[in-house]
Amino acid sequence: MRMRHSLITLAALLGSTSAFADAVKGPIEKQATNVTAIVMFLIFVGMTMGITYWAAARTKTAKDFYTGGGGITGFQNGLAIAGDYMSAASFLGISGLVFSSGFDGLIYSIGFLVGWPIIMFLVAEQLRNLGKFTFADVASYRFGQTEIRTMAAVSSLVVVAFYLIAQMVGAGKLIQLLFGIDYWIAVVGVGILMMIYVVFGGMTATTWVQIIKAVLLLSGATFMAFSALATFGFSPEEMFKQAVAAHPKGQAIMGPGGLVKDPVNAISLGLALMFGTAGLPHILMRFFTVPNAKEARKSVFFATGFIGYFYILTFIIGFSAIVMLGKHPEFFKPDAFVNGVIDKAKLITGLSGGTNMVAIRLAEAVGGNLFLGFISAVAFATILAVVAGLTLAGASAISHDLYASVIARGRSSEVMEMKVSRYSTIALGILAMILGIAFESQNVAFMVGLAFAIAASANFPVLLMSVFWGRMTTRGAQVGGYLGLATAVVLTVMSKAVWVDVIGNKEALIGLDNPAIISIPVAFVAIWLFSLMDRSKRAEEEALAYEAQHVRCETGIGAEGASGH
């Protein structure tokens, strides 16, 4: 039975730079149960459960739980970072965006990549040399532990919450679409599996889930892109020529279209993506899993390569789909046909399931039902890997920063801290499931953009200044961090994505879609101003402590080592 499903397309994205391809939007109806996909997915679950069982036996100390023992190699960590960063919705969303508007999809994916070199040059080694388990270790290194850790934990949890809700809602809808199971069952299933990985296997299990997912996703996408290119004799020009001929927009898909509407919004979105990547708690946390600064920089090198390669693949997938999907009438809705053939004007809007299904449909076109099942299972695995990393980062902020340092003031035992982190994981998992179900019919498209904006405006400025500016004080960091966070949230609420699309007002209060161009400078200026105004005795001591921090940061002398196993 053919079911009509109307996963809302990313068409809204064309008019707005604030919408994120990283979120799946709108109501959808479920598809017929896909048995191949479910079997393939069960194989993945079985494999990762085996790994979790193995990892659980190795997760004895807090260090094991937060960092997987700190002995992961740069190459493995690079793959895990890629697995953490390449979400299912970005795979499906960006290939869909390329399918519907061509070149604009490329602009979009470039934004998600350029944060990585910044991480490499300014934060990766510094994090490794100064930190232990969370980025708050680095941000609070020479400062008031209570104040800075509370601030870092609050902004980390806000980032994790928004990112997690967007992922859960996207997960529920995608799984409903791909596997034909109910939305709430999909959300609860994702929640339970991610809790099992994190509670029992900690960072070791999370890392391996991410590595396996990255390998599956990269090899699946490689197979699709190469099979598709083969039909064009491996000639990009031939692919572009046929795509231009088949696409309703014609030659316009070969250049920038409506994605970038004005310079201010374009730059603001670029700032959020570039510096937000360098402030995402679950990404920063991955730098404590490697033994030293050298492996930390190798991690970024491999991660950048894998992620860049992945975006080039999604670009090829989106473009070849323009040509190849049109040869499959079964992929289109009945109203897409005129006199029995697919109407060129309906190539984009007539695709059944919407443009988020482009990569899935192409999988079926190049590899039949078996490969369709494989790619669907990979999409599910991808969601799991991303939410597991997010939950672990959130749980660490609660147990390591809020509980051990702020509430217990460093007098907690390791056993107790581990317990708290596991309970936090369960609490976050349940909360994610509840919010995931509660937000089913809400528009969550703004949430990933907001998560990046907060990471760029609260976490990143405090982290960067704590490493590079000796005069920063506790007060400066605290005021700057909270102001950055508040500015990002308030401006987002006033923007179209929330004020109009969620609350339902007629017109947005501000024309700025992403707050980063204002909220990032607000945070930096506040840090600078309130640090200079701080004439307390503690501020003097903090300035003196910078010397020792700087030596450790540059040389790694005194840095955390890997544990014995």
Question: Under a CB-based contact definition with an 8 Å cutoff, are residues 104 and 429 in contact?
Answer: no
| Site for another protein contains 237 (CB under 8 A) | yes
Single residue of 65, 85, 91, 116 touching another protein by CB under 8 A: 116
Residues 117-146 as x/- pattern, contact with another protein by CB under 8 A: xx-xxx--x---------------------
The residue (of 395 and 553) whose beta carbon lies closer to another protein is: 553
Question: Under a CB-based contact definition with an 8 Å cutoff, are residues 113 and 307 in contact?
Answer: yes
Torsions phi, psi for 181 (to 5 deg): -115, 160
| Site for another protein contains 394 (CB under 8 A) | no
| Site for another protein contains 557 (CB under 8 A) | yes
The residue (of 69 and 556) whose beta carbon lies closer to another protein is: 556
Q: For the chain, give the number of residues.
A: 565
Question: Under a CB-based contact definition with an 8 Å cutoff, are residues 239 and 81 in contact?
Answer: no
> Which among 4-12, 297-305, 388-396, 424-432 is the span making contact with another protein, rule CB under 8 A?
297-305
| Site for another protein contains 290 (CB under 8 A) | no
Spatial separation of the C-alpha atoms in residues 563 and 179, rounded to whole Å: 41
Question: For residue 506, which amino acid is it?
Answer: K
Radius of gyration of the chain (CA): 23
| Site for another protein contains 509 (CB under 8 A) | no
The residue (of 263 and 410) whose beta carbon lies closer to another protein is: 263
| Site for another protein contains 322 (CB under 8 A) | no
Single residue of 54, 75, 301, 469 touching another protein by CB under 8 A: 301
| Site for another protein contains 266 (CB under 8 A) | yes
For residue 30, what are its two tokens?
């479920």
At residue 249, the 3 state secondary structure works out as coil
Q: What is the dihedral of CA 174, 177, 183, 187, to 10 degrees?
A: -30
Spatial separation of the C-alpha atoms in residues 441 and 503, rounded to whole Å: 13
| Site for another protein contains 249 (CB under 8 A) | no
Q: Which of 358, 371, 262 is nearest to 317 (CA)?
A: 358
Interhelix angle for 35-58 vs 145-179, to 10°? 150
Residues 95-114 as x/- pattern, contact with another protein by CB under 8 A: --------x--xx-xx--xx
Question: Under a CB-based contact definition with an 8 Å cutoff, are residues 320 and 239 in contact?
Answer: yes
Q: What is the dihedral of CA 198, 201, 206, 209, to 10 degrees?
A: -120
> Which among 184-192, 224-232, 262-270, 452-460 is the span making contact with another protein, rule CB under 8 A?
262-270
Spatial separation of the C-alpha atoms in residues 428 and 422, rounded to whole Å: 10
Spatial separation of the C-alpha atoms in residues 527 and 471, rounded to whole Å: 10
Could you say which residues in the range 194-213 bind another protein, by CB under 8 A? none
| Site for another protein contains 27 (CB under 8 A) | no
For residue 95, what are its two tokens?
């290939």
The residue (of 176 and 299) whose beta carbon lies closer to another protein is: 299
Single residue of 91, 141, 143, 240 touching another protein by CB under 8 A: 240
The residue (of 54 and 309) whose beta carbon lies closer to another protein is: 309
At residue 503, the 3 state secondary structure works out as coil
Q: Which of 384, 388, 379 is nearest to 92 (CA)?
A: 379
| Site for another protein contains 256 (CB under 8 A) | yes
| Site for another protein contains 47 (CB under 8 A) | no
The residue (of 144 and 308) whose beta carbon lies closer to another protein is: 308
Q: Which of 302, 280, 354, 229 is nearest to 78 (CA)?
A: 302
> Which among 197-205, 260-268, 441-449, 502-510 is the span making contact with another protein, rule CB under 8 A?
260-268
Could you say which residues in the range 400-459 bind another protein, by CB under 8 A? none
Question: Under a CB-based contact definition with an 8 Å cutoff, are residues 269 and 518 in contact?
Answer: no
Spatial separation of the C-alpha atoms in residues 144 and 519, rounded to whole Å: 24
Single residue of 251, 413, 441, 536 touching another protein by CB under 8 A: 251
**Concatenated DSSP letters of 407-475:** ISTT---HHHHHHHHHHHHHHHHHHHHHHHHHTTTS--HHHHHHHHHHIIIIIHHHHHHHHH-TT--HH
| Site for another protein contains 55 (CB under 8 A) | no
| Site for another protein contains 368 (CB under 8 A) | no
Single residue of 304, 352, 474, 478 touching another protein by CB under 8 A: 304
Single residue of 263, 340, 410, 504 touching another protein by CB under 8 A: 263
| Site for another protein contains 555 (CB under 8 A) | yes
Spatial separation of the C-alpha atoms in residues 313 and 303, rounded to whole Å: 15
| Site for another protein contains 556 (CB under 8 A) | yes
> Which among 215-223, 237-245, 342-350, 475-483 is the span making contact with another protein, rule CB under 8 A?
237-245
The residue (of 204 and 457) whose beta carbon lies closer to another protein is: 457
Single residue of 298, 400, 475, 496 touching another protein by CB under 8 A: 298
Residue reference for tokens 């791909």:
178
The residue (of 119 and 224) whose beta carbon lies closer to another protein is: 119
Single residue of 47, 49, 215, 254 touching another protein by CB under 8 A: 254
Spatial separation of the C-alpha atoms in residues 27 and 32, rounded to whole Å: 17
Q: How far is the CB of 92 from another protein (least distance, A)?
A: 19
Spatial separation of the C-alpha atoms in residues 450 and 467, rounded to whole Å: 25
> Which among 249-257, 323-331, 354-362, 404-412 is the span making contact with another protein, rule CB under 8 A?
249-257
Question: For residue 539, which amino acid is it?
Answer: A
The residue (of 533 and 544) whose beta carbon lies closer to another protein is: 544
Enumerate binding residues for another protein (CB under 8 A).
103, 106-107, 109-110, 113-114, 116-118, 120-122, 125, 236-237, 240-241, 244, 251, 254-256, 260, 262-263, 266-267, 270, 274, 294, 297-298, 300-301, 304-305, 308, 311-312, 547-548, 550-552, 554-558
